[in-house]
Structure 1
Amino acid sequence: MEIINDNQSTLVVDNQCSSTQVTPIAMDHDDDKETRWMAIDKSECPNKFIQYVDEASKQDQIIAHTRYSTRQLQLEPGMKVIDVGCGAGKDLSRLESIVQGTGEVYGMDISREMVECAKSRMSHLPNVQVFCGNANSIPFDANYFDAVRCERLLQHIPQPDDVIAEMVRITKRGGRIVITDIDWTSSTISIPKHVEQINSIIIKDVVFNAHPAIGLHLKGRMKKNPQITDVDIFAQCLYTDSLSVADDFLWLGERGKMAVTQGLISEDEYMQWREAVEQMEEEGSFVFTINLFTVSGKIDK
């Protein structure tokens, strides 16, 4: 296990990126969580979601983590690889540059808006194909791919073990699967004691996706599948000392508001918490951390 938290890992973002802030897709426990990310297609401004993903992916820590996850695929020229939940295709050109013209790169996403954007961006690469699809039923024969990846997808999926099994199904013996996801419940803030309990409720109890702690449990889920061997884990502590970054890219402020709408805290408690957070920002003492995980394995079947 490798953990990174050094002076090179600070999340830095230009203030102009504040326009990329989007509201996370809240849900009740009874919602059809599998389709919540499709709300992008129904939103008034789908491009805002695309811009959010683009800007978040430009952060130094995310770039370093993605490079690691790409290495774990162990790609070579001529190989076939798919990015499940590819979004707007941020990683497809990188994959193509490794497998080159003799290889095949596929991107699949449930959002039509994301897929159309990715198609446009990849139109100059004839061996890259992007399409709409469901991660529970990937439309390829068994043993088709040399490598399969997904990033920050399983947190939105009701049955992540089924998706892992589907990824295994389409991967050749000896191939690789690499999964990256976040542990939202690992969020920590340098918070004053008088609002610690309110903060704990906001971080631990607010529901805005199917599996907030999925990153922490990725290794265990992959180890449960008997066809995955040589399971390896890479953990990175992301941190920022900017409240605007925590709000815009890590949904801190929105999670506080959701705690009110979900009946977990009162409006007064939210204001008390928010004032404490903003006071720390003014004093220069605000620190926010969250953990990101990549787990990889080899297919043996």
Structure 2
Amino acid sequence: MTSSAFTTDRPDPIDYLDRLAVSDIGRAYKRRMLDELDVRAGQTVLDLGCGPGTDLGRLAAAVTATGTVIGVDREPAMVDTARARMADQPVVDVRLGDVHDLALPERTADRARTDRVLQHVADPRRALGEIRRVLRPGGRLVMGEPDWETLTIDHPDADLTRAYTRHVADEVVRNAAIGRQLPRLAAGAGFTVPAVIPVTSVFRDAQIADAFLGLERTTRRAVAAGYFTEEAAERWLDHLARGPFLAAVTFYIVVAEA
């Protein structure tokens, strides 16, 4: 099972995050998240799961020279890259750390953000409790997460689409339904939730979708896990490669206040 239309190589994590950030979809939702965060000059802002520093520069510009931006990531390679990229930004401090156990005093920050992070963590409830602990009263958290159970890809055989989405939700993403769960989980952690903003990401080009979804790579995993037969996977990929192509998934931006 192979198709020359799609890549089978696992993407470099830093390159993947960089490409997402400059895509039309990435720019649009990140701009909306920054607007909802409402950062002010002089504030302390946490970027939790900051990756290679993709958004740290924009946060630094928002807090100005009088504020502080603290980026936290659990991956040493991400931290090293972010530190190198932010070397000329004295207001930015990038640290190795875990969102479940932040090495920060209570009531440290005015703002916090997580971007596609909570779908991967071991315990979203604990992570949200930690973020609540380190935010000052009146502080704001803005989270952005997909709901992978909303993933749909057009195909003449709807059963194949359902099998693909079920595999992604069951096997590929740890917290696949986190997007829809965030308001409830945030309320349970002591936040109020003034806004939930759904953003539908639509892909009409198979190659662009493949760059973010790993269509063939994920299909191979679905075959190995028993969600597809080899024959069904061939039919699935052949149609996706030949088009017309359409895929969509809902991404939730959730605003929470301490």
2:257 is matched with 298
Give the Å deviation of 1:61. Answer: 2.4
Where 2:139 maps in the other structure, the secondary structure is strand
Query: Is the counterpart of residue 196 in structure 1 residue 158 in structure 2?
Result: yes
TM-score, structure 2 normalization: 0.92
Identity of aligned residues (%): 28
Q: Alignment partner for residue 23 of structure 1, among 1, 6, 10? A: 10
- Could you tell me how far 1:69 is from its partner in structure 2? 1.0
What RMSD in Å do the two structures reach over aligned CA positions?
A: 1.6
Note the C-alpha offset of 1:22: 5.4
Report the CA distance between 1:166 and its aligned residue: 0.6
Q: Secondary structure at the match of 2:175?
A: coil
Match of 2:238 among 265, 269, 275: 275
State the match for 1:63 in structure 2: 27
Q: Give the alignment of 1:68-107 within 5 angstroms.
A: 68-107=32-71
Q: Which amino acid aligns with 2:239?
A: A
Contact 2:183 2:193 in 1 (8 A): no
**For residue 118 of structure 2, what is the aligned residue in structure 1?**
154
Deviations along 1:62-120, one digit per CA (max 9) or x if unpaired, are 21211111122221111001100000111101001011111010111111111111100
1:286 aligns to what? 245
Write the distance in 2 (CA, Å) between the matches of 1:116 and 1:208: 27
The aligned runs of 1:1-301 (5 Å cut-off) are: 23=10, 48-192=12-156, 195-206=157-168, 207-225=171-189, 227-279=190-242, 281=243, 285-299=244-258
Aligned counterpart, 2:3? none
Q: Distance in 2 between matches of 1:220 and 1:100?
A: 34
Provide Cα deviations, 1:146-173, integer angstroms capped at 9, x if missing partner: 0111100011012101101111000000
Structure 2: where are the runs of 5+ without partners? 1-5
- Shift of the alpha carbon at 1:237? 0.6
Q: Which runs of 5+ in 1 are unaligned?
A: 1-17, 25-47
- Answer yes or no: is the 8 Å Cα contact 2:193–2:254 preserved in 1: no
Q: What is the alpha-carbon distance in structure 2 between the residues aligned to residue 252 and residue 235 of structure 1? A: 24
Cα separation, 2, equivalents of 1:275 and 1:245 = 16
CA drift of 1:198 comes to 2.2
Matched with 1:35 is none
Classify 1:22/1:177 alpha carbon distance in 2 versus 1 (closer, same or farther; 3 Å): farther
CA distance in 1, matches of 2:43, 2:112: 11
Maintained 8 Å contact 2:204/2:247:
yes
Q: Answer yes or no: is the 8 Å Cα contact 2:154–2:161 preserved in 1.
A: no
Q: Deviations over 1:47-72 (max 9, x none)?
A: x2211110111112221211111122
Letter in 1 for 2:123: Q
Q: Secondary structure at the match of 1:203?
A: helix
Aligned partners of 1:86 and 1:120: how far apart in 2? 13
* Partners of 1:252 and 1:158 in 2: CA distance: 25
**8 Å contact kept, 1:22–1:248:** no
Paired AA for residue 10 in structure 2 = T
For 1:218-263, what per-residue CA distance to the aligned partner results, in whole angstroms no more than 9, with x for missing partners? 12221223x2114311111111111111111122222211101212
What is the count of residue pairs matched by the alignment?
Answer: 251
SS of match in other structure, 2:228: coil
Q: Distance in 1 between matches of 2:180 and 2:9?
A: 25
